[in-house]
């Protein structure tokens, strides 16, 4: 009886890297927060009359 050929990779190719370092550092600009303006009580009233 013939033996089946099994494709076995060496353990180096199968094992994941121990530490994964980012290869590309993000250089995206920092975004500023938008603050809403506080409204006065007079602005809340409807003065259309």
Instruction: Kindly report, residue by residue over 1-49, the tens digit of the pLDDT.
Output: 566 766 766 666 666 767 776 666 667 777 788 888 877 665 555 555 5
For every residue of 1-49, DSSP letters joined together read -PPPP-----HHHHSPPSS---SS---PPPPPPPPPPPPPHHHHS----
Q: pTM of the predicted model, to two decimals?
A: 0.18
């Amino acid at each position: 009886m013939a033996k089946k050929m099994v494709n076995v990779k060496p353990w180096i190719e199968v094992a994941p890297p121990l530490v994964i370092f980012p290869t590309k550092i993000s250089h995206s600009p920092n975004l500023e927060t938008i603050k809403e303006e506080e409204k006065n009580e007079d602005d809340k009233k409807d003065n259309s009359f």
